[in-house]
Structure 1
């Protein structure tokens, strides 16, 4: 799961940088908030999730981690796509989609938090730390 998070994070940074470069070239910055969200929620957050799951692999093996992954990676593109359409068109018809998909991302992050609290407080982490110390 950690590698998957990191690979998807690399895709998000590529998209975010390309969007930023395109905005600069055409001098149209209406999508600046989309650019920022793709970089923060896509690149930074996904990379951090991936690194945490790398160092705590037992947390990455849970159903919560998998559910978090899918909620985040369905919610984020839908949210940013809807926001982009809204910003370009000036029409707020996409607002319900942006709101619902934002909530999907938030639920995914809450599941990540719950997963960490459950897994980092478990005996598995203490045993893993003990093994690391003896190596």
Structure 2
């Protein structure tokens, strides 16, 4: 699973940098919050999870890593689209934003549980 995380993280890296370049060129920083979240939760956090899961196969090759991957992969775009709409003035997506945000938090908790259970134990070492 580690490599899948890293590849998805790279997609977010391209999107985050692209959004940053667009904002600079347009001199419009309305979407700074989206840019920051994409780079932190999409690129940095997902890449780090991928590296951890590659280094510790016991953590990367279990049901928790698969659940985390799909919860995060589905909920982060929902959260980012809703945040974009909210920052552009569309308050009708607040509930969906809350759902996406909550699911991102759930994926982070799943990651933390997986790491505590499977990284650093004798069986979890590479």
TM-score range, shorter chain: over 0.9
Stretches of structure 2 that go unaligned for 5 or more consecutive residues are none
Cα separation, 1, equivalents of 2:33 and 2:5: 23
Residue of structure 1 in register with 2:92 after alignment: 93
Match of 2:80 in 1: 80
Deviation, structure 1 residue 16? 0.3
Under a length normalisation based on structure 2, what TM-score does the superposition of the two structures give? 0.95
Offset, 1:3: 0.5
Residue 25 (str. 1) matches residue 1 (str. 2):
no
Deviation >4 Å, runs of 4+: none
Q: Deviations over 1:31-80 (max 9, x none)?
A: 00000000000000011001100110111111000000011111111000
Unpaired runs of at least 5, structure 1: 129-135
- The separation in 1 between residues aligned to 2:54 and 2:13, in whole angstroms, is 19
Separation of aligned partners in 2, 1:53 and 1:39:
20
User: What CA distance in whole angstroms lies between the structure 2 residues aligned with 1:54 and 1:46?
Assistant: 12
Conserved? CA contact 2:57–2:124, under 8 Å:
no
Kindly state the Cα deviation for residue 120 of structure 1 after the two structures are TM-superposed. Answer: 2.3
RMSD (Å) for aligned C-alpha atoms: 1.2
Number of residue pairs aligned between Structure 1 and Structure 2: 126
Give the Cα–Cα distance (whole angstroms) in 2 for the partners of residues 125 and 71 of structure 1: 23
TM-score by length of 1: 0.89
Tell me by how many angstroms 1:122 deviates: 4.1
Name the SS of the counterpart of 1:125 in structure 2. Answer: coil
Residues in 1 aligned to 2:119 and 2:25: alpha-carbon distance in whole angstroms? 46
What does 1:1-135 correspond to in 2, within 5 Å? 1-88=1-88, 90-120=89-119, 122-125=121-124, 128=126
